Amino acid sequence: MIFRGVTLLLCIVCPAHCLLEQNTQTKNETKDELLESGATHSAAIEELRKKIDEIVKELNALKEVHALQLVCLKGIKVPGKCFLASPVKKNFYDATDDCILKGGSLGTPVTGNENYQLYVYVHETIGPREQIWLGINDMLKEGEWVDKSGSRIRFQNWETEVTRQPVGGRSQNCAFMSVIDSGKWFDENCRAVKAFVSLKTKHGF
């Protein structure tokens, strides 16, 4: 009688144990499959991100090439230079950024002839009474005017007969050209708003 009971108990326990082991194995296999699937999914996402990054880089490169040509394509060509006027008035910082986006820089004459060319161009395109930002400043050291590269400027065309420019001190660290004053330079607060001209050296155009 006892033997039959034990036998019956084994018949019940063994299948249950086997079923439990089978369920555990199935769960482990499912977990492994999910982990493997998740790893594959993560790898696919990472690969997609890399491709998107490559596309963005190529797009930015194309934008840069386009920008580098914009000043000379839309502006006027003078010997060795291209000018592109912007009558929309901005402060010195925004004007600087705008010129960079167009592939140029704020007009900064380096010779008397270039100053005259810029003066004539502004007179004809923006107006005879206009003022435009120049790409120079003395922000780092008062009285030491430098260009966009930080190099001290050699050519200067300050108005010195009447107002003895520059006279603004630490409150006026930027400079503009005045058309009504025949292209003479004046210092100014950098937050003032003025028209400006993008200048590009013609290399490869």
Give the model's pLDDT for residue 40: 78
Please report whether residue 112 resides in a domain: yes
User: pTM (2 decimals)?
Assistant: 0.65
Please report whether residue 59 resides in a domain: no
Higher pLDDT, 45 or 131: 131
For residue 137, the enclosing domain spans 75-201
Per-residue model confidence as pLDDT tens digits over 147-187 = 999 999 999 999 999 999 999 888 999 999 999 999 999 99
Give the model's pLDDT for residue 163: 92
Per-residue model confidence as pLDDT tens digits over 116-151 = 999 999 999 999 999 999 999 999 999 999 999 999
Q: Which tokens is 155 given?
A: 């050519």
Q: What would the DSSP string read from start to end of 10-41?
A: HHHHHHHHHHHHHHHHHHHHHHHHHHHHHHHH
Query: Is 189 a residue whose pLDDT tops 70?
Result: yes
Give the model's pLDDT for residue 56: 78
Please report whether residue 21 resides in a domain: no
What is the tally of structural domains in the chain? 1
Please report whether residue 143 resides in a domain: yes
| Cβ 82 vs Cβ 199: under 8 Å | yes
Q: Which CATH number fits the domain that encloses residue 125?
A: 3.10.100.10
| Cβ 82 vs Cβ 205: under 8 Å | yes
Peptide bond into 166 cis (omega under 30): yes
